[in-house]
């Protein structure tokens, strides 16, 4: 019994319990028709943002390095996944399986990008590291923006900057430069999103409570001390960063497959920041905080729809107010009061 | 000659980046925070100047003064309300609050001035100087921008080096606690820093919109990010670094736009930044901080 209630276990139970419960409640709402169409449209993005927030938390909260370019990995996963589903349209007719393969491919591409970005970036420290991740995010967005990929009977065609290939009979553009992707079949479903969230949680929570996870946290808390007991800083930093990129890539595939048109500009600096806001508001290193913050803050602008014009203004004010409250004496006093009651 | 023309427009754009980067660098040096709302203060400054000239029919010079005054007040108020309570908090908390302020300013501007782009008329007129029988054309805006940048740089260097307030600023940026023990009012010093940074942002906003006349509520975001990059490029916290970083960024951007690719110019700018930071992890003119065990 004691083991079941150790902090780690409780974190597990709460996270999975809440996610499964939320899924069941929403499914029930869909079945009974008690759901607005705008909220229904938000379900897959919520799942994608939850995975984004949890994965970014691995970099920012657990590894302790500020990343401002997480949307870049999402972008790689999104467009990689779209290319994979289009290329495999005939080979795998079963849509959920095709989505899963696309996600794996998107995750793999993002992971490779994670290595490419991570090796130079993780040599830097603090704000300099942050600005270089921002720079990589912008570079990825810029390059995807001038990427042309088409498919015809002969196979896939790539070019950069302008379309330098002619498509044969029955050929189709998959990524059309700044216009992006259009006319993709929407494969993502709420259930697929839910399964991805579950898989992410299972993997990341297990990682955190493993030897590897503790090594990553040791690097965060004191790199020099960690190194002195034989933990390879570079290795664990890169590992956390790449795992984080892989999940962001999968979230990207899920997100992109929910829309029929996607452009590179969707995955810009603002998206990176949005996810960072989820992570910080949810609490650094706190996985289930990330889940709740991502879900609530994605729905919040919808909930504020009643005040229409002022909703983004209110969102901003709420954001500032929450940050101020989180660090205020008032919260300390409230928490202190609660602890006394428990005693 | 085309090269020279490009170089000059690069320097002009770089001067605007440098003025914005100064705001970032000063605030970072003293408050150790990345003020993400700085880019949006630029936008507010440009809107105020726009309103002053088109609705109140003030003279351009007066409109700049008004914009600087409004932005100064705005900067000080933002610091008092949003950043001051978080002075002891984790740097990420301050960063997110700054992002909140940035959202707030953008959306407030959206409500006040709508999303329709305003066409900003240049504060120095549309004229230009032509040299070498028309081979080299320098617009008045370019001249004014470069001149403003030089004047601001000299004034700031003198201010931080020679005045009591400037010395206080350097002391606070070195060690807040020790500065307080020496009788320096840390709160006032930080407020003054925000005031100067925001006034500079207003000037930068007016100059930026004089060169690129479309004014929308998100006008400040991208120049803000670029100027922030410039500040890091030159070594964040260093005033000459901000100038050097801004100028280099502007020139690289215009040159890659002209000779490599229009669409990839941003990617090239950021790639150069990455290379510089990998070779010199503290920026071009940044000070090396030794790590203690």
- Residue A7 shares a structural domain with residue A128: no
Residue A26: which of A16, A13, A15, A39 has the closest Cα? Answer: A39
> Higher-confidence residue: A295 or A155?
A295
Q: Are A108 and A250 in contact (CB under 8 A)?
A: no
- Residue A3 shares a structural domain with residue A60: no
- Residue A163 shares a structural domain with residue A262: yes
Q: Is A343 within a domain?
A: no
The ranges assigned to domains in chain B are 2-114+124-279
Separation of alpha carbons B193 and A282, rounded Å = 32
- Residue A112 shares a structural domain with residue A261: yes
Q: What angle do CA B120, B126, B129 make, to 5 degrees?
A: 145
Task: Looking at the complex, report in whole angstroms how far the Cα of residue A93 sits from the nearest Cα belonging to chain B.
Answer: 37
How many other C-beta atoms can be found within 10 angstroms of the C-beta atom of residue B66?
A: 19
CATH of domain B2-114+124-279: 1.10.3470
Number of domains, chain A: 2
Chain B residues close to A128, C-beta within 8 Å: 232, 277, 281-283
Whether residue A132 and residue B97 make contact (CB cut-off 8 A), yes or no, is no
Q: Which of residues 302-321 of A touch B (CB under 8 A)?
A: 309-310, 312-313, 315-317, 319-320
Chain B residues close to A178, C-beta within 8 Å: 263
Residue A134: which of A207, A224, A71, A198 has the closest Cα? Answer: A71
Interior/surface letters B75-97, b for 16+ CB within 10 angstroms, e for the rest: bbebbeebbebbbebebbbbbbb
- Residue A147 shares a structural domain with residue A174: yes
Whether residue B93 and residue A327 make contact (CB cut-off 8 A), yes or no, is yes
- Residue A76 shares a structural domain with residue A114: yes
Residue-number span of the structural domain to which A244 is assigned: 47-208+239-327
Per-position pLDDT tens, chain B of length 293:
788 888 888 898 899 999 999 988 888 888 888 888 898 999 999 999 888 888 887 888 888 899 999 999 999 999 988 888 888 887 778 888 888 899 899 989 988 888 788 887 777 766 777 777 777 778 888 888 889 899 999 998 899 888 999 889 888 888 888 988 988 898 899 999 999 999 999 999 888 888 888 888 888 888 888 888 888 888 877 888 889 999 999 999 998 888 887 888 888 888 888 888 888 877 777 766 655 55
Q: Is A225 within a domain?
A: no
Whether residue B293 and residue A312 make contact (CB cut-off 8 A), yes or no, is no
- Residue A131 shares a structural domain with residue A181: yes
**Is residue A160's pLDDT more than 90?**
no
- Sort A86 into a burial class: Cβ within 10 Å, 0-12 / 13-18 / 19+: buried
Chain A residues close to B92, C-beta within 8 Å: 60, 66, 280, 284
């Amino acid at each position: 019994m004691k083991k079941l209630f150790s902090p780690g276990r409780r974190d597990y139970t709460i996270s999975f319990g809440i996610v499964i419960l939320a899924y069941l409640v929403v499914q029930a709402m869909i079945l009974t028709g008690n759901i607005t169409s705008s909220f229904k449209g938000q379900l897959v993005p919520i799942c994608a943002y939850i995975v984004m927030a949890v994965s970014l938390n691995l970099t920012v909260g657990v590894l302790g390095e500020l990343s401002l370019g997480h949307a870049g990995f999402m972008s790689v996963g999104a467009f990689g996944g779209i290319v994979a589903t289009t290329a495999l349209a005939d080979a795998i007719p079963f849509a959920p399986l095709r989505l899963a393969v696309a996600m794996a491919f998107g995750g793999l591409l993002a992971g490779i990008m994670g290595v490419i970005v991570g090796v130079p970036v993780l040599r830097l420290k603090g704000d300099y590291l942050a600005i270089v991740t921002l720079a990589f995010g912008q570079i990825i967005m810029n390059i995807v923006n001038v990427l042309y990929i088409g498919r015809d009977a002969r196979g896939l065609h790539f070019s950069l900057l302008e379309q330098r290939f002619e498509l044969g009979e029955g050929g189709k553009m998959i990524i059309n430069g700044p216009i992006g992707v259009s006319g993709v079949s929407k494969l993502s479903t709420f259930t697929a999103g839910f399964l991805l969230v579950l898989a992410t949680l299972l993997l990341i929570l297990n990682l955190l409570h493993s030897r590897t996870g503790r090594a990553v946290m040791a690097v965060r808390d004191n790199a020099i001390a960690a190194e002195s007991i034989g933990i390879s800083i570079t290795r664990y930093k890169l590992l956390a960063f790449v795992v984080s990129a892989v999940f962001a890539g999968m979230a990207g595939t899920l997100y992109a497959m929910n829309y029929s048109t996607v452009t590179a500009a969707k995955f810009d600096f603002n998206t990176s920041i949005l996810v960072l806001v989820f992570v910080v508001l949810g609490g650094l290193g706190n996985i289930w905080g990330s889940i709740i913050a991502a879900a609530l803050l994605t729905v919040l602008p919808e909930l504020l729809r009643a005040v229409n014009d002022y909703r983004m203004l209110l969102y901003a004010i709420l954001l500032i107010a929450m940050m101020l409250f989180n660090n205020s004496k008032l919260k300390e006093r409230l928490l202190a009061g609660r602890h006394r009651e428990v005693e | 000659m085309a090269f020279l023309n490009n170089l000059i427009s690069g320097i002009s754009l770089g001067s605007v980046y440098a003025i914005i980067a100064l705001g970032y660098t000063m605030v970072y040096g003293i408050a150790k925070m990345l003020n993400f709302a700085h880019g949006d203060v630029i936008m507010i400054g440009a809107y105020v100047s726009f309103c002053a000239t088109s609705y109140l029919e003030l003279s351009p010079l007066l409109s700049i003064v008004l914009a600087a005054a409004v932005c100064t007040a705005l900067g000080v108020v933002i610091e008092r309300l949003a950043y001051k309570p978080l002075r002891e908090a984790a740097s990420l908390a301050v960063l997110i609050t700054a992002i909140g302020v940035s959202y707030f300013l953008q959306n407030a501007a959206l409500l006040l001035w709508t999303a329709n782009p305003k066409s900003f008329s240049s504060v120095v007129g549309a004229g230009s100087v032509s040299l070498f029988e028309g081979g080299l054309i320098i617009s008045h805006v370019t001249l004014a921008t470069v001149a403003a940048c030089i004047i601001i740089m000299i004034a700031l260097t003198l201010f931080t080096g020679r005045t009591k307030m400037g010395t206080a600023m350097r002391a606070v940026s070195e060690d807040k606690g020790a500065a307080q023990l020496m009788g320096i009012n840390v709160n006032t010093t930080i407020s003054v820093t925000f005031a100067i940074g925001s006034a500079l942002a207003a000037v930068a906003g007016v100059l930026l919109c004089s060169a690129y006349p479309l004014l929308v509520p998100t006008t400040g975001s991208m120049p803000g990010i670029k100027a922030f990059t410039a500040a890091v490029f030159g070594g964040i916290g260093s005033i000459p670094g901000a100038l050097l970083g801004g100028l280099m960024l502007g020139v690289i951007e215009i040159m890659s736009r002209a000779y490599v690719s229009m669409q990839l110019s941003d990617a090239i700018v950021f790639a150069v930044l990455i290379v510089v930071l990998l070779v010199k992890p503290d920026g071009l003119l940044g000070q090396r901080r030794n790590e203690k065990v």
